[in-house]
Amino acid sequence: MVFWSSTSPILLGLLLLLHPINSIRLGLVRRGVSTPDLPQFREAPAFRNGQECGSTEADCINVAMTLDANYLRGTMAAVLSMLQHSKCPENLAFHFLSSNDAPELFSTIKSTFPYLNMKIYGFESNRVRGKISKSIRMALDQPLNYARIYLPDSLPEDVQRVIYLDSDIVVVDDIAKLWGVDMEGKVVAAPEYCHANFRLYFSDMFWKDPVLSKTFKGRKPCYFNTGVMVMDVDKWRKEGYTKKVEEWMRVQKQEKRIYHLGSLPPFLLVLAGNIKAVDHRWNQHGLGGDNFEGKCRSLHPGPISLLHWSGKGKPWLRLDSRKPCIVDHLWAPYDLYRSSTHFFEE
């Protein structure tokens, strides 16, 4: 974990000084399949458990992410960051959901992280395609963006708890600290942002409807970002949360337009005001700017355990365009992309 003050004069290199990456091997990925459409990555080092780490099933930390060729570079950086900062990296088990049944994705990840404990599960896009309504940004309308709703149904039944993470994040603390949060009987744990104007996440049509406007009666709803969540997937399955979220998607698609932001609002409709709040350090979000222009944003004051480039701007695209935001340089050290010159040299 690092601590950031808005009055600090130097951002560039902050995390590099505190968390240097000094063990990357520069050998190129060995790939058995020719995949010209996928980026190529350097092989990451092997990260091993310390002596204090357990090795039983109870010590396993389940992390779930979606797997998309367009965001693969972000996924690789996110995985590296978790392994880099974990005291027990061999205890991390990664569960990837992919709508593309391409063996190249598996081989690319396995070549980059030969020792990674991982599984890839197919996500059937047709399961959600007819339920998606157009949002303010095309990327939010992709079926895989809705896969988190079906995550508990996609994972094996023996996986009862999981950390779900978006691909545009890096973790700069031990992910075990987030895993260890006391859920207190809630189905989701995530940072809450009660200062945000909650009304803006829904349309005027929603708030003017005499029935729908009472949805949050008895709750104190706050915005939370669904890109970083600890999920009790066993409770999610047993209490049918997938169908609860789907019902709001049906209302949006078939009855009236009540929101504009993809998969987030139906989550809020079901869960806002009824989750376990987690320290804000676990989602320093919005670093990608807004959903229209992706303008640069500064870090919020306070401790940082996870950096999240939610919004339109992605750090790898801005770095490649040679028009990066200052915060993008905090992502660059975890970039394993073969042609990257942001941190490594050939």
Convert the pLDDT of each residue in 229-276 to its tens digit.
Answer: 999 999 999 999 999 999 999 999 999 999 987 899 999 999 999 999
In whole angstroms, give the CA distance from residue 104 to residue 325.
32
Percentage of the chain with pLDDT > 70? Answer: 85
- Ordered by where they begin, the domains of the chain are 57-286 (3.90.550.10)
Which residue in this structure is represented by tokens 């340089």?
329
- The answer to whether 25 and 45 are in contact (CB under 8 A) is yes
The mean predicted confidence, pLDDT, of the chain is 87
pTM of the shown model? 0.87
What's the first-to-final CA gap in the chain, in angstroms?
A: 30
Buried-exposed string 257-293: b where 16+ CB fall within 10 A, e elsewhere: ebbbbbbbbbbbbbbbeebbbbebbbbbbbbbbebee
Return d(Cα 301, Cα 295) in angstroms, integer: 19
Residue 16 CA to residue 332 CA, distance in Å, equals: 10
Distant-in-sequence, close-in-space partners of 146: CB < 8 Å, separation ≥ 6: 128, 131, 132, 262, 263
Q: Report CA-CA distances (Å) from 237 to 58, 233, 263, 265, 274.
A: 21, 6, 19, 20, 17
Side chain identity, residue 141 = D
Q: What's the pLDDT tens digit per position in 54-77?
A: 989 999 999 999 999 899 999 999
Contact 121, 90 (CB under 8 A): no
